[in-house]
Structure 1
Amino acid sequence: MLEILEKINGVLWGAPSLILLSGTGLFLTFVLKGMQFTKLLHAFKLAFVPDKSQDDSEGDISNFKALMTSLAGMIGNGNIAGVATAVTLGGPGAVFWMWVVGLLGMTTKYAEALLAMKYREQNANGEYSSGPMYYIEKGLGSRYKFLAVAFAMFGAFASLGIGNSVQSNTIADVMTNSFNVSGFITGIILAILISLIIFGGLKRISNVAGVFVPMMAIFYIGAAVTIILINYDKIIPAFGLIFQYAFTPVSAAGGFTGIMVMQAVQNGVSKGIFSNEAGLGTVALISGNAKSGHPAIQALVAMTGTFIVTIVVCTMTALVLLVTGYWDPSGGLLSGVSHDPKLEAGALTSVAFGSSLGMLGEYVVSLSVIFFGFSTIIAWFVYGAKCFEYLFGVKYVMLYGVIYVAATFLGTVADLRTVWLFADVANAMMMIPNLIGILLLYKVVKEETEDYFKPSLRKVS
């Protein structure tokens, strides 16, 4: 079973899928005239400067809280272990390609959020429901409903795997290894905390995310910046490594057996997508709840999330590994810093932090894994609940909540190798119908964008 799943996963996340994801971002960048560059400052203003005029708009939560909830799902262990994996497998050049896919993914995120707002609908409880399943069915017609159903099915499954039990399993491992707390105890605590939050409804979830995510990001980024400043003389050489090995192979030595540029590209692209979720459609599952007077407003706000995750958070992790010399999996033959070559990605990041901050640095990584994983569990409940609601109706969402809490506990005590693979497959199967929907509805995205930026309506910086 594991071998079969590994082969399926290899095909689904192989070169064709990565080309499709990156190609969609490139196509939308052309269609939208590079708006992720020209409108970025305006997007950040919409995200972080309070606009009272939006308070009276239809929706359930503010643009800021919608962004924080989506960031809760994106800022996760992919920003720690995922980045380290990309650098150790693909060399420093993988960071460059992670930036590329992040910048291209900003337009994909924009399109997802805009379509979510455009085709959202109110459920029986008066809350808004949105997501790829709604814009596929309503935007493309009933003949495409099978794609909408497929997205919802795989989205619901993925929420129990990569968004929940896999995260709780990682948290349990850290609690055992760093704080000597058993997985069973961790599972009970997590199940109670998650229940208190998710059964309080979307507004409680968004309120928690609105406080938790900024605090969590500042904590991790602050520690990373401190390490980078301590090693300030290596900052420019670190960027030199990134640009040098983005286009030239890493010389064969030690743990590296001659990493080609293609490996840097593949690892950078795949881990970049894993960290920012551009193309998976997850941001569309929360964006429709935002109070926005125009679909493009929330879309611009959502776009900033990809920038924050990939260009800021992931870059901080990468720079820590590079300036401390812990990017070399061979144990120091290339970087000159000696370490155990058997260290895995997450552990390597921990050691890199500890090399400058001592035991405090290692605790920073451990606590970040716990906080990041916890926030991901909260956000993915929203995603899975939206999918479950589409399939079975809003009255069964409570049942899904019970299943979700159970999956949180089971994740802390179970062997999740099979769940990991199923979740990866489910993520890929979410991506395919979502990208089909976006590409077929690109004219709607273009028209709504042009409508918002009409000079006659408003002057936009």
Structure 2
Amino acid sequence: MEYITKFFTVLEDLTWGWSLIPILVIFGVFMTIVTGFVQFQFFGRMFRVLLPKYQHADPNQISARQALLISVGGRVGGGNIAGVAVAITLGGPGAVFWMWAIALVGMATSLVECTLAQVYKRRAADGTFRGGPASYIRHGLGDQYRWLGVVYAVCLIGSFAFGFNAFQGNTIAGAVNDSLGVDRLITGVLLAVITGFIIYGGIKRIAKAADVVVPVMALTYIGIALLIIVMNIGELPRVLGSIFANAFGLEEAVGGGMGAALAQGLRRGLFSNEAGLGSAPNVAATADVHHPVSQGITQALSVFIDTMLVCSATAFVILLGGVYVPGAEGVSGVVLTQQSLVYHLGSWTQYYLTFAVFLFAFSSIMYNYYLGETALVELVESPAAVHILRWLVIGVVLLGASAPGATSVFFFSDPLMGLLALVNLLAILMLFPVAMRVLNDYRSQLKAGNERPEFEASRFADLDLDRKAWK
């Protein structure tokens, strides 16, 4: 066991320790420049997915908006509440600026990887679509690289379906126990039952649940943050000044100055928005859309919502309050966010935050499970294997919720996520010419006056596409 632990420790050091974050940053900047700042060019179009008239008419398919909400539900989790607080504690207010910066460049990365997921998606036996990095590695790079897709799929199942779901169950049970005094086992059983009901309905039921949970979750949290900003509008210039001054070393809030702000902001932003990590494309591929790029644009909006709205909401709640003291040792994590809410609005907000943590973490559980299912199907097409995975996920959620110490068993989660991110980035880089061809096709149709570009697979006859997925 000691050797296994050392192996994953080394793997984490080789990925998250020193290589992955710089690679993701450079990759995001590269994608932004080479695509012609695509995330800014199509920024206005991102919000069309929220309007009913731009929804696909087929009720038997996952719409672009539903795929967006599943993705937002997965990206928006405990890290938006606790992780942002940790970033500010360790990196100072300047960490918020670098969190924003990496989200803006990450939008381009997300657009490219999700466009590729759409291009190489496959129609399943039940009529829905599946795809993601394992699929675009197999069908985009060819069978000689299938082993790379296997590595990716195994890492995805281990990290997201098992490890992160144990942590999410632990987060929910801990929050409910701390604020309401409910025993962890009771919360764990209830959570396991709800999880089983949702995941046994497949992607369609997950999409319907996300369609309800995610808007409530995000809008109420952002609404409370806006109320706090309005209440403290006179302090807003000071807070914004502090964010920018600390970001560029003009002020030093914590030891390490600008370096600490940069490191913590980039790390939190990348962990939260998942751009380039290869998780969101699995959900992006499920959408029934007219053109792959349209869903890529939609998924870029998911990054914007996660970081620029939800993470920023937490940051302003903390920085406008009187609980956080720059450089001082004290409360951190979810406790800092909780106490800051109480400072602004009173003790009832600690119960609201429990509700928010429940919704945030539960939406992540649904998302994490579906990522695992998609990866498993790429490894073995067996209904029995899917049932086994579902029961294992339900068990992991129960275990993580009822036995908090059990989450230490899943120490391999972060290292595996780091490895799958490197595999995904390699695949995107190799397939980038394909992504640019599809993006240029989209742009040329817009230039010709077609406001809703259509993807014609016949124009890409040299690619291994599923013609049944594109009418």
Q: Which residue of 2 aligns with 1:362?
A: 350
Q: Identify which of 10, 19, 23 aligns with 1:16.
A: 19
Kindly tell me: are residues 397 and 249 of structure 1, through their superposed partners in 2, closer, same or farther at Cα, counting changes over 3 Å?
farther
Q: 1:144: how far off?
A: 1.5
Q: TM-score, normalised by structure 1?
A: 0.92
Render the CA deviation track for 1:141-180: whole Å, top value 9, x for unaligned. Answer: 1222121111100001112344311000011111111111
Is 2:294 the counterpart of 1:297? Answer: yes
Q: CA deviation at 1:321?
A: 1.0
Over 3 Å counting, the alpha-carbon distance change for 1:199 and 1:342 in structure 2 is same
Matches within 5 A, 1:63-82: 63-82=64-83
Match of 1:280 among 259, 270, 277: 277
Q: 2:50 aligns with which of 48, 51, 61?
A: 48
CA distance, structure 1, for counterparts of residue 422 and residue 19 of structure 2: 11
Amino acid at match of 2:443: F
SS for the counterpart of 1:158 is helix
Task: Tell me the equivalent position of 1:347.
Answer: 335
Contact 1:55 1:291 in 2 (8 A): no
**Aligned pair in 2 of structure 1 residues 218, 56: CA closer, same or farther (>3 Å)?**
closer
Question: How far apart, CA to CA, are the structure 1 residues paired with 2:410 and 2:316?
Answer: 28
Return closer, same or farther for 1:55/1:146 CA change in 2, 3 Å cut-off.
Answer: same
1:374-393 residue pairs with structure 2 within 5 A? 374-393=362-381
Q: Distance in 2 between matches of 1:52 and 1:323?
A: 38
**Contact 1:249–1:259 (CA<8 Å) still a contact in 2?**
no
User: Structure 1 residues 420, 248: closer, same or farther in 2, change over 3 A?
Assistant: farther
Change (3 A) 1:352 1:3: farther
**Which of these residues, 398, 407, 413, is aligned with residue 396 of structure 2?**
407
Aligned AA for 2:312?
T
- For 1:315, which of 297, 302, 312 is the aligned residue? 312
CA distance in 2, matches of 1:53, 1:86: 37
Runs of 4+ deviating beyond 4 Å: 1-7
Q: Distance in 1 between matches of 2:189 and 2:418?
A: 31
| Distance in 2 (alpha carbons) for counterparts of 1:141 and 1:300 | 26
Deviations 1:261-290 (A, max 9, x none): 122111111100111111111111111111
Question: Does structure 2 retain, via aligned residues, the 8 Å contact 1:108–1:278?
Answer: yes
Checking the alignment, whether the CA contact within 8 Å between 1:250 and 1:259 is kept in structure 2 is no
In the TM superposition, what is the alpha-carbon distance from 1:328 to its structure 2 partner? 2.8
Q: Contact 1:453/1:460 (CA < 8 Å) preserved in 2?
A: no
- Matched residues, percent identical? 34
1:451 aligns with 2:441: yes
What residue identity is the alignment partner of 1:434? N
Question: Corresponding residue for 1:98?
Answer: 99
Structural RMSD (CA): 2.0
Aligned equivalent of 2:468: none
Aligned match for 1:39, one of 27, 38, 42: 42
Alpha-carbon distance between aligned partners in 2 of 1:213 and 1:41, rounded to the nearest angstrom: 22
Q: Distance in 2 between matches of 1:267 and 1:7?
A: 21
Report the CA distance between 1:52 and its aligned residue: 5.7
What displacement does 1:355 show? 0.3
1:187-198 counterparts in 2 under 5 A?
A: 187-198=188-199
3-state DSSP of counterpart to 1:229: helix
Q: Note the alpha carbon deviations across 1:295-327, whole angstroms, 9 max, x for none.
A: 111111111000011111111111111111444
Structure 1 distance, partners of 2:42, 2:406, is 42
Task: Give the Cα–Cα distance (whole angstroms) in 2 for the partners of residues 397 and 24 of structure 1.
Answer: 34
Unaligned runs of 5+ in 2: 454-471
Paired residue type of 1:55: A
Q: Name the aligned partner's letter for residue 288 of structure 2.
A: K
The structural deviation recorded for 1:4 is 6.1
Distance in 2 of aligned mates of 1:220 and 1:357: 13
Q: How does 1:417-436 map to 2 (within 5 A)?
A: 417-419=407-409, 421-436=411-426
1:417–1:411 distance in 2 versus 1, CA, 3 Å: closer
Checking the alignment, whether the CA contact within 8 Å between 1:9 and 1:425 is kept in structure 2 is: yes
User: Displacement, 1:411?
Assistant: 0.6
For residues 354 and 325 of structure 2, the distance between their equivalents in structure 1, rounded to whole angstroms, comes to 21
1:189-247 deviation line (CA, Å, top 9, x unaligned): 00111111110121111011011100111111111111222111111111101110111
Cα–Cα, structure 1 residues 52 and 366, in superposed 2: closer, same or farther, change >3 Å?
closer
Letter in 2 for 1:418: S
For residues 20 and 158 of structure 2, the distance between their equivalents in structure 1, rounded to whole angstroms, comes to 20
* In structure 1, distance between residues paired with 2:297 and 2:115: 8
3-state SS of paired residue (2:188):
helix
